[in-house]
Structure 1
Amino acid sequence: MLPLYPEIKPYARHQLAVDEPHVLYVDESGSPDGIPVLFVHGGPGGGCDGNSRRFYDPEKYRIITFDQRGAGRSTPHAELSLNTTQHLIADIEAIREFLAIDQWMLFGGSWGSTLSLLYAQAYPQRVLALVLRGIFLCRPQELQWFYQSGAHHVFPDYWKDYIRPIAADKRDDFISAYYELLTGSNEIKRMEAAKAWSVWEGRCSTLRPNPDLAESFGEPHKALAMARIEAHYFVNHAFIENNQILDNVDKLAGIPGIIVHGRYDMVCPLDSAVALYDAWEDSELHIIRDAGHSASEPSIADALVRATEDMAVRLRPEDNP
């Protein structure tokens, strides 16, 4: 099983101003002459960390990571104004232009897969390839499954903590109820809701329980951004049509893609990955038999590293005799 590449530090860091008041954090690592690859993080609102740079051979890739609006080190923290899917797609294109990159590969998991696919459909001529994990098509049935009725059958114990902040008479629509708390003026209730929402996702993300991962999701800075921004997006149906990605899958024609998905993914069930694979002729699907949703699971990480190695050979065969 292949491990992640060793930790590396960025060789360049940027603050890229977009629509006021948003300023994006962007960094570059690896080889400046390598294949450009953009890490597209999940959430929305999750942000990047040191591990975001470790899925690629730093001698073969120019690794770009960025924190989406309101997430991570981008500012203002957890800001919802001018924060929509269309803004994020425009931000990715702005980063490409800022870094003077002609074409690049996108690497995204969960919401990062959603955003990568939407960007590729908007700018197919700019995309060399896609490596995607934990496919999330952001359709109503997927939101219903995880936040209202579905995953709670598998995790009824964790579900009790998820529903606790919500009044009994508002539990017919958890996303709207959470959005109300997360955008309200009561700071104590806001943070209680943020932690419950975010920890629910962290607890459900792995096949084997991972208390450290769940605890990291509950860290206040991360939890508030994830919960507020996710609820903002999901109460607005992610600012896309109900089946937008699959309805426009023809725009991905000619773009090679590797899809990695855990069979026991309870956050983003496998049927979404299968639907995408069936519709996207240039894709291949790797179902990981002993994993759930998280990129931190050893079998998922192994498959992702193998995918980037595979893509390096396909995209620059002259460098891989």
Structure 2
Amino acid sequence: MNDPRGLRTLYPPISPYASGTLDVGDGHSVYWEISGNPEGKPAVFLHGGPGGGCSPAHRRLFDPERYRVLLFDQRGCGRSRPHAELEANTTWHLVEDIERLRAVMGVEEWLVFGGSWGSTLALAYAETHPERVTELVLRGIFTMRKSEIDWYYQKGASMIFPDRWEKFVAPIAEDERDDFVAAYRRRLTHEDRAVRVEAARAWSVWEGSTITLLPDEAGISRHDQADYALAFSRIENHYFSHLGWFEEGQLIRDAHKLKNIPGVIVQGRYDMACPVQTAWELHRAWPEADLKIVEGAGHAFSEPGILHHLVEANDRFAEKLR
């Protein structure tokens, strides 16, 4: 589908033809769903956050006539249970979960699509299991380096959005502001639910109000809902506190493992959550991928120029069966 400017847009709404929950061990149950053509090209969608969960719009990034796409809510968020759980919830648990879900799908290999944190997880999965990945479509590149976390949660984006940053820092005492990730962790794991909710909403709304080039009031409102904010903020902060259980710079260092995987990297020029520098460095380390820097766009997949390139990439790869 196209908009009046000739840009690609989402495919029409579609419902899953199969869904369920998978016991992945450690007390976690992961929700999954499959939509599209049962005989189509296999793909898996990795949502952002971590802790964001999937939405019906994510199915619509793929041509339902040509793709069979699996979506799932990562541990602790969305429809997965237990809600907002941090135990046994690491990057490497999720990489194992993707492999379990590949078995549920019954395929040997698939296209892997990930945006924001989903791009981090997609890179971790592809560098661990390159033989399972036919193509990579990545958006809003984030590799969990300390400098990337500091930019968004310590100093950097704060200078672009000082009014919204003031609301983010409000729950944190002056003498704790040298490390906002650590200060928020103490509140997000506090025994008092009211303390957890206050911190979760402030953390979540900061992201919801800064990820699009222009304000998205509906997105901000969703980020302000207590249940969503608790999973999103607790899990995201948990991962950031541990730097994703990566060695510093690991994902870009190991990008040579992607050499034989076709890929597209889509990056908004004015992405405040994940500045374009990281996408540029990934492209330098993985020159075989196409890099699309979208002028006049921020971080969100729904922004017109970004959405155009994502759907276009999926359509192009739909023609390829490896």
Aligned-pair CA distance for 1:253: 1.4
One of 289, 295, 303 as aligned partner of 1:297: 303
1:17-36 mapped onto 2 (5 Å cutoff) = 17-36=23-42
Report the residue type matching 1:50 in the other structure.
P
Q: 1:72-119, CA deviations, whole angstroms, 9 ceiling, x for partnerless residues?
A: 000000000000111010000110112211100011000000000000
Aligned-pair CA distance for 1:313: 2.2
Q: Does 1:106 align with 2:121?
A: no
Aligned to 1:61: 67
| In 1: Cα distance, 2:18 partner to 2:47 partner | 19
Aligned to 2:90: 84
Aligned-pair CA distance for 1:205: 0.4
- The TM-score normalised by the length of structure 1 is 0.97
Aligned to 1:157: 163
Aligned to 1:184: 190
SS of the residue 1:314 aligns to: coil
1:113-128 mapped onto 2 (5 Å cutoff) = 113-128=119-134
Aligned to 1:209: 215
Aligned to 2:246: 240
Give ranges in structure 1 of 5+ residues lacking alignment: 317-321
| In 1: Cα distance, 2:152 partner to 2:60 partner | 29
Aligned to 2:274: 268
Aligned-pair CA distance for 1:281: 2.7
Do the aligned partners of residues 314 and 100 (structure 1) sit closer, same or farther apart at CA in structure 2, a change above 3 Å counting? closer
Aligned to 2:312: 306
Tell me how large the CA RMSD over aligned residues is. Answer: 0.9
Q: Does 1:39 align with 2:45?
A: yes
| In 2: Cα distance, 1:30 partner to 1:100 partner | 15
SS of the residue 1:315 aligns to: coil
- The TM-score normalised by the length of structure 2 is 0.97
One of 292, 297, 307 as aligned partner of 1:286: 292
Deviating more after overlay: 213-222 vs 127-136: 213-222
| In 2: Cα distance, 1:305 partner to 1:281 partner | 21
Aligned to 1:196: 202
Percent identity reads: 50
Aligned length: 316
One of 160, 169, 175 as aligned partner of 2:175: 169
Asked whether the 8 Å contact 2:90–2:239 carries over to 1, the reply is yes
| In 1: Cα distance, 2:225 partner to 2:209 partner | 13
Deviating more after overlay: 217-226 vs 52-61: 217-226
Aligned to 1:253: 259
Give ranges in structure 2 of 5+ residues lacking alignment: 1-6
SS of the residue 1:121 aligns to: helix
Aligned to 2:4: none
Q: 1:262-284, CA deviations, whole angstroms, 9 ceiling, x for partnerless residues?
A: 00000000000000011103201
